[in-house]
Amino acid sequence: QVHLAESGGDSVQAGGSLRLSCAASRTAFEGNCLAWFYQAPRKSERDAVALLGTDGSALYADSVKGRFTVLRDNDKNTFYLQMDNLKPEDTGTYYCAVKRDERWYCSVLNPQGLLYWGQGTPVIVSS
């Protein structure tokens, strides 16, 4: 079963905006915190850039704070990453993910407690 399906990646000019979407299964969406990870070109690690807790609180990596916003639509079981003022260094692949709302998992920007990954969507920002 596919739990997370992403869309919205594209090529944009620096300073532009994109909205990534992640359609989730009900199992994935309810009761878990929702995250976005970033993988730079030619790198293997994925870094968390945004996390939305079940209480509505949000965490952001310093690199995206003030420019990216994570949102959710409960009626559609979908969450989003609104990306504004994009920079060339934002170029890479973005993955949505779901983490268990247990222990400290929804309070930290890392893969601990991770349940599901999306397939990834590419973002290219040109200068």
pLDDT of residue 2: 82
pLDDT of residue 45: 95
Average pLDDT for 90-114: 94
Of the candidates 90, 112, 118, the residue with the CA atom closest to the CA atom of residue 99: 112
Of the candidates 103, 105, 102, the residue with the CA atom closest to the CA atom of residue 59: 105
Residue 1 has pLDDT above 90, yes or no: no
Which two tokens mark 16? 């532009």
Of the candidates 119, 103, 127, the residue with the CA atom closest to the CA atom of residue 22: 119
Average pLDDT for 115-123: 96
C-alpha Rg value of the chain to the nearest Å: 13
Of the candidates 13, 32, 18, the residue with the CA atom closest to the CA atom of residue 80: 18
- The whole-angstrom separation of Cα 4 and Cα 60 is 21
Mean pLDDT taken over the chain: 96
CA 99 to chain centre: 12
Q: In the chain, what percentage of residues exceed pLDDT 70?
A: 100
Summarised one tens digit per residue, pLDDT across range 19-69 is 999 999 999 999 999 999 999 999 999 999 999 999 999 999 999 999 999
